[in-house]
Structure 1
Amino acid sequence: MAATFDLNDSEVVVIVGSGAGGGTLANELAQKGVNKIVILEAGKQFTLEDIENDEWAMFSKLSWLDKRVTAGTWSPHRTAPNLPAWICKTVGGSTVHWTGVSLRFQPHEFKPLTTYGRVLDANLIDWPLSYEDMVPYYELAEKKMGVSGAPASGMPELPKSNNTLVAEAGARKIGYKNVVHRMAINSRPYDGRPGCQQIGFCVQGCKIGAKWSTLYTEIPRAIATGRVELRPEAMVLQIQHDKSGKVNGVLYADKNGTKHLQKARIVCVAGNSIESPRLLLNSASSKFTDGLANSSGQVGRNYMAHATAAAFAIHQKPVKMHRGTAVAAIVMDEQKHDPSRGFVAGYNLIVLSQGLPFAAAFLRTPNGWGREMTSVLDKYDHMSGVWICGEQMPMEQNGVTLHPTEKDQHGLPVPIVANSDHANDALIVKHALGQWRKMNDALGSNRIVEVPVWPAAHNLGTNRMSAKASDGVVNKWGQAHDVKNLFISDGSQFASSAVANPTLTIVALAIRQAEYIVDQMKRKQL
Structure 2
Amino acid sequence: MKKIANDEAAVVIIGSGAGGGTLAYELTAAGIPCVVLEAGPFLKSEDYHNNEWEAFKQMAWLDARTTSGSWRVAKDFPGLPAWIVKAVGGSTTHWSGATPRFKDYEFKTKTTYGDVPGASLLDWPITLADLEPYYDRAEIAMGSTHRHGRPALPANNNYKVFANGAERVGYKLYATGPYATNAEPYDGRPASIQDGFNFQGDKNKSKWSTLVREIPRALETGLLDLRPDSHVVRITHGADGKADAVLYVDKEGNLHRQAARVVCVAGNSIESARLLLLSDSNRFPKGLANSSDQVGRNYMRHMTGSVYARFDKPVRMFRGETMAGIIADEAGNDPARGFVGGYYMETLSLGPSFLASFVEPGAWGPDFTEIMEAYANTAGMWIVGEDMPQATNRITLSDTARDQWGLAAANVHFDDHANDVAMRDYAYDHAQKLYDAVGAVASHRTPPYPSTHNLGTCRMSERPEDGVCDKWGRAHDVSNLFISDGSVMTTGGAANPTLTIVALAIRQADHLAAKLKAGEL
Note the C-alpha offset of 1:50: 0.1
Aligned AA (2:460):
M
In the other structure, the counterpart of 1:33 is: 31
CA distance in 2, matches of 1:428, 1:369: 28
Helix, strand or coil: the match of 1:376? Answer: helix
Helix, strand or coil: the match of 2:217? Answer: helix
In the other structure, the counterpart of 1:8 is: 7
CA distance in 1, matches of 2:425, 2:381: 14
Aligned AA (2:89):
G
Query: Match for 1:93 among 90, 93, 113?
Result: 90
In the other structure, the counterpart of 2:108 is: 111
Correspondences of 1:183-198 after superposition (within 5 Å): 183-198=179-194
1:146–1:185 Cα contact (<8 Å) kept: yes
Correspondences of 1:310-389 after superposition (within 5 Å): 310-364=306-360, 368-389=363-384
- Sequence identity (%): 50
Aligned AA (1:313):
A
Using the size of structure 2 for normalisation, the TM-score is 0.99
Note the C-alpha offset of 1:52: 2.0
Helix, strand or coil: the match of 2:12? Answer: strand
CA distance in 1, matches of 2:70, 2:171: 33
Helix, strand or coil: the match of 1:312? Answer: strand
- The 10-residue stretch of structure 1 (498-507 or 446-455) with the greater mean CA deviation from structure 2: 446-455
Gaps of 5+ in 1: none
Note the C-alpha offset of 1:316: 2.6
Aligned AA (1:70):
T
Note the C-alpha offset of 1:425: 0.3
Q: Is 1:137 matched with 2:134?
A: yes
Q: Is 1:421 matched with 2:431?
A: no
1:470-505 CA-partner distances (Å, limit 9, x unpaired): 100010100101111000000011001100000000
1:251-308 CA-partner distances (Å, limit 9, x unpaired): 0000100000000000000000100000000000000111111111100000001011
In the other structure, the counterpart of 2:119 is: 122
CA distance in 2, matches of 1:150, 1:357: 34
CA distance in 2, matches of 1:451, 1:502: 22
Query: Match for 2:252 among 253, 256, 278?
Result: 256
Note the C-alpha offset of 1:452: 2.7
Q: How many pairs align?
A: 520
Q: Is 1:44 matched with 2:26?
A: no
Helix, strand or coil: the match of 1:260? Answer: strand
1:328–1:353 Cα contact (<8 Å) kept: no
Using the size of structure 1 for normalisation, the TM-score is 0.98
Q: Is 1:230 matched with 2:226?
A: yes
CA distance in 2, matches of 1:27, 1:454: 32
2:309–2:442 Cα contact (<8 Å) kept: yes
Helix, strand or coil: the match of 2:241? Answer: coil
Q: Is 1:147 matched with 2:139?
A: no
Helix, strand or coil: the match of 2:358? Answer: helix
1:170–1:440 Cα contact (<8 Å) kept: yes
Query: Considering only aligned residues, what root-mean-square deviation do their CA atoms show, in Å?
Result: 0.9
Query: Match for 2:206 among 203, 210, 220?
Result: 210
Q: Go from structure 1 to structure 2 and tell me whether the alpha carbon gap of 1:462 and 1:167 turns closer, same or farther (over 3 Å shift).
A: same
Note the C-alpha offset of 1:405: 4.0
Gaps of 5+ in 2: none
Helix, strand or coil: the match of 1:309? Answer: strand
CA distance in 2, matches of 1:276, 1:136: 27
1:365–1:373 Cα contact (<8 Å) kept: no
2:65–2:401 Cα contact (<8 Å) kept: no
1:393-432 CA-partner distances (Å, limit 9, x unpaired): 0000001001124321112111110011000000000100
Q: Is 1:277 matched with 2:273?
A: yes
1:213-232 CA-partner distances (Å, limit 9, x unpaired): 11121001101111110000
Note the C-alpha offset of 1:129: 0.3
Correspondences of 1:480-499 after superposition (within 5 Å): 480-499=475-494
CA distance in 2, matches of 1:91, 1:338: 40
CA distance in 2, matches of 1:308, 1:187: 27
- The 10-residue stretch of structure 1 (64-73 or 45-54) with the greater mean CA deviation from structure 2: 45-54
In the other structure, the counterpart of 2:403 is: 408
1:148–1:155 Cα contact (<8 Å) kept: yes
2:76–2:361 Cα contact (<8 Å) kept: no
Q: Is 1:81 matched with 2:78?
A: yes
In the other structure, the counterpart of 2:499 is: 504
In the other structure, the counterpart of 1:23 is: 21
Note the C-alpha offset of 1:365: 6.1
1:90-131 CA-partner distances (Å, limit 9, x unpaired): 000001100101110011101110110110000000000000
Correspondences of 1:292-311 after superposition (within 5 Å): 292-311=288-307
Aligned AA (1:242):
G
Helix, strand or coil: the match of 2:461? Answer: coil
